[in-house]
Structure 1
Amino acid sequence: MTVIALLSVAPVTEDSMAEDVADAVAALDEAGVAYETNPMGTVIETDDIGTLLDAVQAAHEAVDGDRVSTFLKIDDKRASDQRAFEKVDAVEEALGRPATSHQDPDDG
């Protein structure tokens, strides 16, 4: 079984959240889970739901703030062990190209 989740943890603030997000990501390192951070959140991959939830709790608690917002979306695929990269590979195969675009908005 593979459990894949999209996690976003951030303090509710108008200031930069980079240091707080870095604290949450560091907590994922300490939890020993596989993850990939992107501009909108972090994708976590574990073998079981318990490990995932422990890692999410650690990331949530790592953010120091008066108010912390955490969003979690879980894909608990119980019938197979499809990894996160394999999901992306399947989309790219159907698309016929890499599923990325690195367009710079300043390039016009």
Structure 2
Amino acid sequence: MAIAEITVIPIGTGSTSLSGYVADMQRALEEAKGITYELTSMGTILEGSLPAILEAVRLLHETPFRSGALRVSTSLKIDDRRDQDSSSRQKLESVERKLREQ
């Protein structure tokens, strides 16, 4: 399973507030298949197969255009570990264990 962090920034919106666009993107994710996701204050974490994540990325990138944005900048980080199952929770738990050990 792959993990991705995506940040989509609509540009040319006429306002500094982007929460409406973020809400539209979260609604669009409800239709995405094969992924789980978590909204954070700075982006969205996606988990699933790489093809499912890339399809969700396409969906997220396109959503602001449908909501009236004239330009969209998207940043994407992907962690695709194939030697064992991985998740955001597992990664955090690994760091937390190491913190307790010291």
TM range (shorter): 0.7 to 0.9
- Structure 1 distance, partners of 2:88, 2:64, is 26
- Give the corresponding residue for 1:35: 37
- Structure 1 distance, partners of 2:38, 2:19, is 16
Matches for 1:25-64 after TM superposition, within 5 Å: 25-32=26-33, 33-46=35-48, 48-64=49-65
Runs of 5+ consecutive residues of structure 2 not aligned to the other structure: none
Higher relative contact order, structure no. (Cα contacts within 8 Å, ≥ 6 residues apart): 2
2:22 maps to a residue whose letter is V
Q: Segments of 4+ in structure 1 off by > 6 A? A: none
- Give the corresponding residue for 1:102: none
- Structure 1 distance, partners of 2:30, 2:97, is 31
SS, match of residue 47 in structure 2 = strand
- Structure 1 distance, partners of 2:44, 2:11, is 18
The number of aligned residues is 94
Runs of 5+ consecutive residues of structure 1 not aligned to the other structure: 97-108
Asked whether 1:74 is paired with 2:78, we answer yes
Asked whether 1:92 is paired with 2:93, we answer no
RMSD over aligned Cα atoms: 1.2
